[in-house]
Every structure is written in structure tokens, then in C-alpha cells.
């Protein structure tokens, strides 16, 4: 599904029949239920460290939009098959970002969760890459979420939000359209590339958003940075580590350790 880079996508019928490792204790439902709504969940399996967020319109043929916020990728879903117990077979087409098209299987469960399995064949590795997630409905409060706006998803490990006196908007490329005022100093942005260290604003923005979403800088995030931007292993590791310091501290560490001092990298990326 989402390995960053150029791969060859080969669909194989037997992939759809392969059993997904249990991501939910509930059994597949035998009563058809509508999947219309917004769903989200963290990805695990061959890849991890990012979320899948989907907005589904169910019907005779399920359609929807999907995004992977930490990867800056999005695309569309179109159903191409189904089974008697409500499993939907989906073609995922990426329309934005460097992610790869894949075949998706959605399995609804009696506890209200939705198992997600995404598979593609990576010719460069000569193997199938499969990722899994347990999706849950996203509760959207009409009074707090404008019509047509994406729901606000709060990562479980998100750092406290520092106070700001101005708003910040970050595009997928890492471009900041307005200036934030973080009490711990300005951070990396396209207007202040000198605050990005040895990395570009786009690389820093990706790392900061991934860490905020729960990515592990020592494993998954490091691999994503190496694959997406061609960073060396050391450079990818230290970018992820700096993003972790910045996110977890709000821009400044004062614990009496070796890491004490300003870490403003993500201040203008994650206000």
C-alpha cells in the first residue's frame, strides 16, 4: 500500500482470499450494515507509524476518500466486489502524495469496528506488503467542525499544545502561510529555513507531523524518511529524534540532561 518509492503494483486474486490476522476480537458481522461515515485508526503490520482516515459513502457500490495524514497522501476508494458476510473489496487510487495504489479489504465487525487490510506487490522486494488497521467511527461535533472540514483527530501521545498569538497553516510541502508565535522561539518553515538545521522545511514538516501522530523515530519514521527523501540512516534518525524532542517539550527542554536547551524545529509546524 504505502511504501514510499517507485514500485510495481500487481493485483492477484488470491490476495483477497488471504485471512487477515485478527485486529478485533469481534466476529465479522453477517447482517449488512451501512459503512457511511468517517473512520480512522492506526496502521500496523509491515508498516506502522501513521493513521488511515477514511470518509465512506456506502451504497450499491461503496465509494470514499482516504488519507494518510502523516504521509501527506490521499486518494479514493471504489468497491469492486463483496462477500456474503459484508466484506468489501476496494480499489485504492492515490491522487496526492508519493504513496502507492493498493487493494483494500474492509471487514465490518459486530462490535462496530471495521478491519482494514491493504496489500500491494513490491517488485523491488519480490514480496507482498500488507498493512492492517482497526478503524473506528470518528465522532464529529457539528458545532465544532465546519461543514466539509476534516475531523480533528487527537493523537494519544500528542504533546501539550503551546500557547500562540497567531495562527499557523502548513501545506503538505511544509510551507507556512502565516507566522506562529511560540514562546520558545520560531521554528522551521519555508520563511525560516535556517531553523531547519541540515534538513529542508518539507522534510522537517513530515517528521514533525509523523512524531505527533505517534511514529517511532528509531524505526518506522526513520525508514519513511530514508525512502521518501533519500536521507542517510543517520540523518533520518537525527531528524526524527529532533522532531521528538521538539514535539514532546513544546520547543525547550529543561530536565538537567544532555538534551537541555531549545528545540524549536516543530514550533511553527505543529502549533
Task: Compute the average pLDDT of residues 123-143.
Answer: 76
What's the confidence (pLDDT) of residue 148?
A: 40
User: Which stretch of 2-16, 66-80, 168-182 has the lowest confidence by average pLDDT?
Assistant: 168-182
- Specify whether the CB–CB gap between 54 and 104 falls below 8 A: no
**Are residue 29 and residue 133 in the same domain, yes or no?**
yes
What's the confidence (pLDDT) of residue 31?
A: 58
**Pairing label, strands 37-45, 63-68:** unpaired
**Are residue 113 and residue 52 in the same domain, yes or no?**
yes
99 falls within a domain: yes
- Specify whether the CB–CB gap between 41 and 116 falls below 8 A: yes
Tell me which of 108, 137, 166 is where a domain ends.
137
What DSSP state is assigned to residue 185? -
**Are residue 113 and residue 162 in the same domain, yes or no?**
no
Tell me: pLDDT of 9 over 60: no
**Are residue 173 and residue 249 in the same domain, yes or no?**
yes
Beta-carbon-side half-sphere exposure of residue 199 (alpha carbons within 13 Å): 31
**Are residue 127 and residue 166 in the same domain, yes or no?**
no
Domains in the chain, number: 2
**Are residue 109 and residue 165 in the same domain, yes or no?**
no
What's the confidence (pLDDT) of residue 47?
A: 80
Percent over 90 (pLDDT), the chain: 23
What are the phi and psi torsion angles at 236 (to 5°)?
A: -65, -40
Tell me which of 107, 137, 167 is where a domain ends.
137
Task: Compute the average pLDDT of residues 110-133.
Answer: 85
**Are residue 96 and residue 212 in the same domain, yes or no?**
no
202-212 burial, b for 16+ CB within 10 Å, e for fewer?
A: bbbbbbbbbbb
5 falls within a domain: no
Containing structural domain, residue 35? 13-137
Rounded to two decimals, the pTM is: 0.45
Tell me: pLDDT of 147 over 90: no
259 falls within a domain: yes
Classify burial at 218, counting beta carbons within 10 Å of its beta carbon; exposed 0-12, middle 13-18, buried 19 or more: exposed
Q: Which three cell numbers stand for residue 213?
A: 501522530
**Are residue 21 and residue 132 in the same domain, yes or no?**
yes
**Are residue 234 and residue 162 in the same domain, yes or no?**
yes
Amino acid at each position: 500500500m504505502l511504501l514510499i518509492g517507485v514500485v510495481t503494483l500487481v493485483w492477484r486474486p488470491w490476495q483477497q482470499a488471504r485471512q487477515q490476522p485478527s485486529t478485533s476480537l469481534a466476529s465479522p458481522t453477517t447482517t449488512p450494515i451501512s459503512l457511511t461515515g468517517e473512520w480512522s485508526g492506526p496502521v500496523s503490520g509491515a508498516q506502522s507509524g501513521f493513521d488511515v482516515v477514511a470518509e465512506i459513502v456506502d451504497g450499491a457500490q461503496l465509494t470514499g476518500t482516504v488519507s494518510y495524514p502523516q504521509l501527506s497522501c490521499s486518494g479514493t476508494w471504489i468497491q469492486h466486489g463483496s462477500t456474503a458476510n459484508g466484506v468489501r473489496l476496494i480499489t485504492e487510487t492515490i491522487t496526492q502524495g508519493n504513496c502507492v495504489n493498493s487493494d483494500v479489504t474492509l471487514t465490518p465487525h459486530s462490535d462496530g469496528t471495521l478491519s482494514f487490510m491493504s496489500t500491494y506487490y513490491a517488485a523491488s522486494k519480490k514480496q507482498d506488503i500488507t498493512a492492517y488497521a482497526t478503524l473506528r467511527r470518528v465522532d464529529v461535533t457539528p458545532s465544532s467542525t465546519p461543514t466539509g472540514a476534516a475531523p480533528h483527530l487527537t493523537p494519544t501521545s500528542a504533546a501539550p499544545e503551546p500557547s500562540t498569538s497567531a495562527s499557523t497553516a502548513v501545506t503538505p510541502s511544509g510551507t507556512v502561510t502565516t507566522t506562529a508565535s511560540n514562546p520558545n522561539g520560531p521554528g522551521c518553515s519555508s520563511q525560516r529555513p535556517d531553523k531547519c538545521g541540515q534538513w529542508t522545511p518539507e522534510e522537517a514538516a513530515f517528521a514533525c507531523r509523523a512524531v505527533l501522530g505517534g511514529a517511532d523515530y528509531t524505526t518506522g519514521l526513520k525508514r519513511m524518511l530514508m525512502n521518501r527523501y533519500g536521507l542517510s540512516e543517520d540523518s533520518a534518525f537525527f531528524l526524527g529524534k529532533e522532531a521528538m524532542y521538539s514535539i514532546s517539550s513544546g520547543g525547550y527542554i529543561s530536565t538537567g540532561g544532555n538534551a537541555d536547551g531549545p528545540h524549536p524545529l516543530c514550533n511553527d509546524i505543529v502549533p
